[in-house]
Amino acid sequence: MRRLWHQFIIMIVSFVFFIGLIGLLLITRNIDQQTEKTTTLYTATVTGVEVTKIGNDISAEISVKEYSNNLLISESICKKINIDDVQHLETGQIIYFRIENFMVQHLNNAAFVNIASLKTDAKDIFSLADYNQYVHASSYPGRISTIVAAAICLSISISYFFKIKGRKKDA
């Protein structure tokens, strides 16, 4: 009876993990499909730029006069763009950037906000299309591993379901 209880717990936990992983896939399915409708364009004045390099990882934060939080360019984007374009932003320079609509409420309420595009009057540093391409490439391995983990959890759950079902028939 105790073994049956353990099998039941394993089946339930595996199924819960399966549901959670599928939920994660559904929540993140559109992260690489940003458009002008799913993002909002802002203008700001640069007050400073900080590029952080840790080993091969590079990220950048842009401080602006209009907002209390910094604008973050994530590692996956920094790896693909010319980081010198960001480093050479000058104090007082006007920039144009997009953030995802769901992040608008966090503008001025969080330490930083991820940006989905960045340009100046003179240059596009990275566009929304570039952002989508870079995020797709960086999220692909995670999506594949999540699908594999979900499949493993589902197969474990199904396997234990049939073990439990077979034991109840024998009883």
- Tens digit of pLDDT for each residue in 34-80? 999 999 999 999 999 999 998 888 999 999 999 988 999 999 899 99
For residue 159, is pLDDT > 70? Answer: yes
Identify residue 42 by its one-letter amino acid code.
Y
- pLDDT band for position 166 (50/70/90)? confident
d(CA 64, CA 54): 24
Token output for 156: 């474990």
Contact 86, 70 (CB under 8 A): no
**pTM, two decimal places:** 0.80
| C-alpha–C-alpha distance, residues 49 and 51, integer Å | 7
pLDDT of residue 170: 57
d(CA 28, CA 30): 6
Asked if 126 and 117 touch (Cβ cutoff 8 Å), the reply is yes
Burial (0-12, 13-18, 19+ Cβ within 10 Å), 18: buried
Binned at pLDDT 50, 70 and 90, residue 3 comes out as confident
Q: Around Cβ 150, how many Cβ atoms within 10 Å? A: 19
- Say if residue 81's pLDDT is above 90: yes
For the stretch 96-146, pLDDT in tens is 999 999 888 888 788 889 999 999 999 999 999 999 999 999 999 999 999
Alpha-carbon dihedral sign for residues 109, 115, 116, 121: positive
CA angle 41, 58, 85 (to 5 degrees): 55
Categorize the per-residue pLDDT at 171 as very low, low, confident or very high, splitting at 50, 70 and 90.
low
SS3 37: coil
